[in-house]
Amino acid sequence: MKTILVAEDDSVTRMLIEKALAPLGHTIVTAENGKEALEQAERHHPDLVLLDVLMPQGHGYSVCRTLRERPEFTGLKIVFLSSKAYQADRNQGMALGADAFITKPFNVNELRSTISTLLGE
Amino acid sequence: MTLKFWGVRGSIPTPGPSTLRYGGNTPCVEVRCGDALLILDAGSGIRELGNALMAQGRPITAHLMISHSHWDHVQGFPFFIPAYVRGNSIHVYGCLGADRSLREVLEGQMEFTYFPVALDELGSAVAFHEVDEGQFQVAGVPVRAMYANHPGLCLNYRLEWEGKTAVYMCDSEPYDRLANPEDTAPAEEYVGIVEGIDPRLAEFARGADLLIADCPYTAEEYRQRRGWGHGSVEDVVQIAVDAEVKRLALFHHDPSHPDDKIDEMVEHARSLLTAARASTECFGAREQLVVTL
């Protein structure tokens, strides 16, 4: 069993994501903003982070950058899951070291398969 | 609260005979809340504002609120003369960049390759304040910030002062257009709350005495420029109607639009507001226009 951190400020979307990931059988931990995402990452050392971009108290790009700078998170998979659908934003997210960038509204099967592939399942 | 427009054009300065009435400078709006001087964006319009401030002959404390770091919103900063004068204080607010600090964002365009004076050579005391979506105060003025849908990171600002509210909604495109590019109902297997975001924009502007809104395109132009990060007259009017704002300023005019075209867009917006039975007053933002709330 792996641990997935879902960082998403919208409570309804967060719940939808948790519901979508439930069949994968992993442990899900959540965060409501960028600051909390970093705290949860330190606390739980997840295998994968699903990261919203537009969050209060630290946008997703800054969270991604911080995680990539810290050696204790080497090997962590980072997937952006954002309503920002611009190619420029996708490019920026990938340039910061993300493993994938999925736009909302997301396809449940695409989300699950992306996660499973990244977790080597 | 008094506001003065110093730059109203989007993308690039457009001086010339076809833009004389509305003006060709890129975004800059001076906001006075009592003694506090707030400045929304540092497009090329900030140069003239700086000159006007210098003419007053007094030390200046300015609070510059950057919506985002695209050129047209920061390019005037190196030409803001008060920033060069010892004894002045410039507080810069804006969101943390995707891959660099707010200071580095402004510093970059003043590097040796691009400009002869470096940021750390300015005479004034320049302080940087990285802000986020949420609520905070700027010079004692309550401010709310909300991310806009625009490539990169862009903040809308809502300022409230002595019972009056101005909302600066610069560079924003409805989320649902990109989420649903074919204007069809999303497939059933797609989930995720995107349709819930656009109404939040109207909620953000709710009851504003003045909404300054990004409005570079007609509906026909928008169809060719979907995904560029901006909206159309129809989009802006819809927000104004939903939010029940008192006055709507069409702003961030497209650089290809001469004055007559902006007149047409303002008239079109007014007809849409009338059709929606809204009491919102609409005008095109133009340089030197002063609005007192």
Closest CA to A61 of B154, B98, B133: B98
Of B96, B133, B192, the CB nearest to A104: B192
Domain coordinates in residue numbering, chain B: 2-292
Q: List, in sequence order, every beta strand (DSSP E) within A15-91.
A: 27-31, 48-51, 77-82
How confident is the model over A32-59, as a mean pLDDT?
97
Residues in chain B with CB shorter than 8 Å from the CB of A20 are 191
Angle at B196 between CA B274 and CA B192, to 5 degrees: 145
Instruction: State the best of A6, A10, A54, A64 to mutate against chain B, taking most chain B CBs within 10 Å.
Output: A54
Q: How far is B235 from chain A (nearest CA, A)?
A: 18
How far apart (Å, rounded) are the C-alpha atoms in residues B82 and B64? 12
Which residues make Cβ contacts (< 8 Å) with residue B57, sequence separation at least 6?
A: none
- For chain B, the residues whose C-beta falls within 8 A of a C-beta of chain A are 95-96, 98-99, 132-134, 147, 149-153, 175, 178-179, 186-187, 189-194, 196-197, 227, 229
How far apart (Å, rounded) are the C-alpha atoms in residues A79 and A111? 9
Measured CA distances, B97 to A92, A101, B39, B131 (Å):
11, 19, 20, 11
Percent of chain A scoring above 70 in pLDDT: 100
How far apart (Å, rounded) are the C-alpha atoms in residues A51 and A59? 9
Residue A101 near residue B164, CB atoms below 8 Å: no
Domain coordinates in residue numbering, chain A: 3-118
* pLDDT higher than 80, residue B185: no
Return the structure tokens found at B67.
Answer: 């919506």
Which residues make Cβ contacts (< 8 Å) with residue B137, sequence separation at least 6?
A: B143
Of A81, A87, A92, the CB nearest to B98: A92
Pairing of strands B281-284, B247-251: parallel
Higher per-residue confidence, A16 vs B163:
B163
Of A96, A104, A108, the CB nearest to B194: A104
The class of domain A3-118 in CATH terms is alpha beta
Return the structure tokens found at B57.
Answer: 């002959």
**Confidence at residue B179, expressed as pLDDT on a 0 to 100 scale:** 59
How far apart (Å, rounded) are the C-alpha atoms in residues B92 and B88? 13
**Confidence at residue A106, expressed as pLDDT on a 0 to 100 scale:** 86
Reported confidence tier of residue B177, pLDDT bands at 50, 70, 90: low
Of B133, B152, B189, the CB nearest to A109: B189
Which residues make Cβ contacts (< 8 Å) with residue B58, sequence separation at least 6?
A: none
* pLDDT higher than 70, residue B152: yes
**Confidence at residue B186, expressed as pLDDT on a 0 to 100 scale:** 47
Residues in chain B with CB shorter than 8 Å from the CB of A67 are none
Q: How far is CA A91 from the centre of its chain?
A: 16
Distance linking the first and last C-alpha atoms of chain B: 5
Reported confidence tier of residue B182, pLDDT bands at 50, 70, 90: low
Residue with tokens 């849409």: B272
Residues in chain A with CB shorter than 8 Å from the CB of B96 are 58-59, 62
Higher per-residue confidence, B241 vs B188:
B241
Q: CB–CB of A55 and B149 under 8 A?
A: no
| Across B6-20, B36-50, B69-83, B167-181, least confident range | B167-181
| Residue A106 near chain B (CB below 8 Å) | yes
Return the structure tokens found at B158.
Answer: 């809502």
| Residue A35 near chain B (CB below 8 Å) | no
**Confidence at residue B180, expressed as pLDDT on a 0 to 100 scale:** 56
User: Tens of pLDDT along B124-148?
Assistant: 999 999 999 999 999 999 999 999 9
Write down the mean pLDDT value for chain A.
95
Residue with tokens 């101005």: B166
| Residue A79 near chain B (CB below 8 Å) | no
Residue B52 near residue B88, CB atoms below 8 Å: no
Reported confidence tier of residue B176, pLDDT bands at 50, 70, 90: confident
Write down the mean pLDDT value for chain B.
93
User: Tens of pLDDT along A66-121?
Assistant: 999 999 999 999 999 998 889 999 999 999 999 999 998 888 899 999 999 999 98
pTM: 0.94
Of B152, B191, B197, the CB nearest to A88: B152
* β-sheet bridge partners, residue B135: B144
Return the structure tokens found at A78.
Answer: 């980072």
**Confidence at residue B187, expressed as pLDDT on a 0 to 100 scale:** 47
**Confidence at residue B208, expressed as pLDDT on a 0 to 100 scale:** 98
Percent of chain B scoring above 70 in pLDDT: 93
* pLDDT higher than 80, residue B19: yes
| Across B87-101, B119-133, B191-205, least confident range | B191-205
B2-292, CATH topology level? Metallo-beta-lactamase; Chain A (3.60.15)
Residue with tokens 């204007």: B183
Return the structure tokens found at B196.
Answer: 């819930």
